[in-house]
Amino acid sequence: MQVVQRIFELVGRERTALRSVQQTLEREGVPTPATTKENGGRRWSTSSIRDIVLDDVYKPHTFEEIMALVTPEVAGKLDPKERYGILWWGRRKVTTKQVAEERPGGGRRYRKKQEVELRSRERQVPIPVPDGRVSRELVEAARDAIKDNRPTQRENNRFWELSGVFICGACGRKMATSNRRSRPRDSRIYHYYRCSKHQREGAHSCPMSVNYRAERIEAEVWEYVAELMVRPEEIIAELDRLIEEERSSLRTDP
């Protein structure tokens, strides 16, 4: 919590940019959250700092606010004089299945494939947790400081069409952009999307090691979207399905 408090102070009170916060923590030798796990994390990332700022675990809620989120049975076990954070359980649903792939020389090989479903807030379960002792005003100030942050869409004078919307299918993080040369003196630059979590924290954090050629994957996505545009009935049917799915998950009449 001392590290969390420091992050909120830097972002909320001193208005320090997330990139500068990352550099400050690394310069001061502050261990990353993954350091306590097996293999550890090598570097802080701006996405993990942003996640801390936006995590309701660290935002103090009044007893009345908690009552509006949880069942009476849960509220009855809480102290009305205390404040609580909220842990939202079930943000992601990860499904693992085994798929078969054709080998170039014939035969098949099997591998595990993970599919990640990002659930809406209405489908998550709120769990009250002890107050982290970060002031409500400081939390709001930090969130206000980053509310206009947007992913960088231009790098090396290139427009990244999927920046901010291309999600890793293994861990659910946004894919990062990357420019590479095949050789040090090669004048041609190749553009890739790759998992930001795998890139920063290593293979133990996310198994997605594939780098996607930007031009190829952007063309595939555009082709898919263009096909949908000429079949509006499929879009309407899918939207109706999602609306019904959300409605069925709510506890009360929407």
Does 208 fall in a domain? yes
Q: Same domain for 140 and 36? A: yes
Whether 62 and 178 share a structural domain: no
Q: Does 245 reside within a domain?
A: no
Give the chain's end-to-end CA distance (angstroms, integer). Answer: 37
Same domain, 18 and 132: yes
pLDDT at 121 over 70: yes
Tokens of 215: 């031009």
Residue 167 has pLDDT above 60, yes or no: yes
Residue 57 lies in a domain: yes
**Residue 77 in domain:** yes
Other beta carbons within 10 angstroms of residue 70's beta carbon come to 18
What is the pLDDT confidence band of residue 156, given thresholds at 50, 70 and 90?
A: low
Kindly state whether residues 70 and 190 are assigned to the same domain. no
pLDDT of residue 39: 41
Q: Which amino acid is at 204?
A: H
72 and 13 within one domain: yes
Give Cβ neighbours of residue 56 (< 8 Å, ≥ 6 apart).
85, 86, 87, 88
Same-domain check for residues 50 and 167 = no
Determine, yes or no, domain membership for 101: no
Q: Does a structural domain hold residue 213? A: yes
Residues 164 and 217 in one domain: yes
CA 146/CA 111 separation, integer angstroms? 40
Helix, strand or coil for residue 180? strand
**What would the two tokens of residue 224 be?**
């898919």
CA count, 13 A, side-chain hemisphere, 52: 25
Shared domain for 133 and 42, answered yes or no, is yes
What's the number of domains the chain is made of? 2
* Residues 45 and 85 occupy one common structural domain: yes
197 and 140 housed in the same domain: no
C-alpha 99/C-alpha 170 separation (Å) is 14
Task: Assign 3-class secondary structure to 92-153.
Answer: EEEEEEEEEEECCCCCEEEEEEEEEEECCHHHCEEEEEECCCCCHHHHHHHHHHHCCCCCCC
199 pLDDT above the threshold of 70: yes
DSSP 211: P
Higher pLDDT, 184 or 23: 23
User: Are 38 and 55 part of one and the same domain?
Assistant: yes
Residue whose pair of structure tokens reads 């949908």 in the numeric block = 228
Range of the domain at 47: 2-89+126-146
Model pLDDT, residue 107: 74
Tell me the pLDDT band of 40, cut-offs 50, 70 and 90.
very low
How confident is the model over 3-16, as pLDDT tens digits? 999 999 999 999 99
**Domain-embedded: residue 70:** yes
